[in-house]
Chain A
């Protein structure tokens, strides 16, 4: 099945830096979701976006639902070591849920 295009694939940053990652698709989605996955665990929901153009924050995380409904981005401000992990975007359209390949984030103290 079609997957979303998520970039970058990996990021190595210093503690305190800001991070930006995004997802694009050739198809329209009705909902965009962002997850974080720690090793050996299931993904945990960070932010849910339901409306084109919507900008939502959760602490140091900010995500936006693209106006075309075909993309979304996630920003993390002032990164800390516990931000390390793999971040996934997901798009939902009715019963269909697709994921990006993930962005692996490494934060150096």
Chain B
């Protein structure tokens, strides 16, 4: 069966520090991968999605970036965090072709 792993679960980082969040999927190949951010009590904002290795689509211009170095690995990064980067970050995957999406457990990022 397929599973998705996301880590770390929580992270407290100072302003200006770098960021690296990782998401991996097991049990499937060539998934579509997504990064979402959720502000407290709000909906999910699509940040990046990827349909294959090295293919990244960005939805929101900001100081975040994403990379897909391997088929089932999706990384969210920043060189210098801002206070406004605080939030709940969620990784999701689908098999493509308009099928259902499954989420990781999320990373709670607090920038101080």
Same complex origin of A and B: yes
Is the pair B44, A92 in contact by a Cβ cutoff of 8 Å? Answer: no
Is the pair B100, A97 in contact by a Cβ cutoff of 8 Å? Answer: no
Cα distance A92–B41 in the bound complex, in angstroms: 23
A60 neighbours in B (Cβ, 8 Å): none
Task: For the complex formed, measure the closest distance between the CB of B6 and the CB atoms of chain A, giving whole angstroms.
Answer: 8
A41 neighbours in B (Cβ, 8 Å): 105-106
Residues of B within 8 A of A (CB): 6, 32, 34, 36, 41-46, 49, 51, 57, 59-60, 88, 90, 92, 94, 96, 98-106, 108
Extra A-B contacts (13), CB below 8 Å, given A92-B94, A99-B44: A1-B60, A30-B98, A31-B100, A40-B108, A42-B90, A48-B99, A90-B101, A92-B99, A95-B32, A95-B51, A97-B34, A99-B43, A99-B46
Is the pair B92, A97 in contact by a Cβ cutoff of 8 Å? Answer: yes
Is the pair B43, A48 in contact by a Cβ cutoff of 8 Å? Answer: no
Is the pair A33, B43 in contact by a Cβ cutoff of 8 Å? Answer: no
Residue of A nearest to B108 (CB): A40
Task: For the complex formed, measure the closest distance between the CB of A92 and the CB atoms of chain B, giving whole angstroms.
Answer: 5
B36 neighbours in A (Cβ, 8 Å): 99
Is the pair A42, B104 in contact by a Cβ cutoff of 8 Å? Answer: yes
Q: Does A43 reach chain B (CB closer than 8 Å)?
A: yes
| Residue of A45, A97, A101 ringed by the most chain B CB atoms within 10 A | A97
Residue of B nearest to A1 (CB): B59
B100 neighbours in A (Cβ, 8 Å): 31, 33, 45, 48
Closest CB pairs A-B (n = 4): A42-B103, A101-B43, A30-B98, A31-B98
Sample 5 A-B pairs with CB under 8 A, ordered by A number.
A6-B43, A31-B100, A35-B103, A43-B90, A101-B43
Q: Does A108 reach chain B (CB closer than 8 Å)?
A: no
Is the pair B105, A42 in contact by a Cβ cutoff of 8 Å? Answer: yes
Q: Does A66 reach chain B (CB closer than 8 Å)?
A: no
Given the interface contacts A1-B46, A99-B44, A101-B42, does A94 sit within 8 Å of B98 by beta carbon?
yes
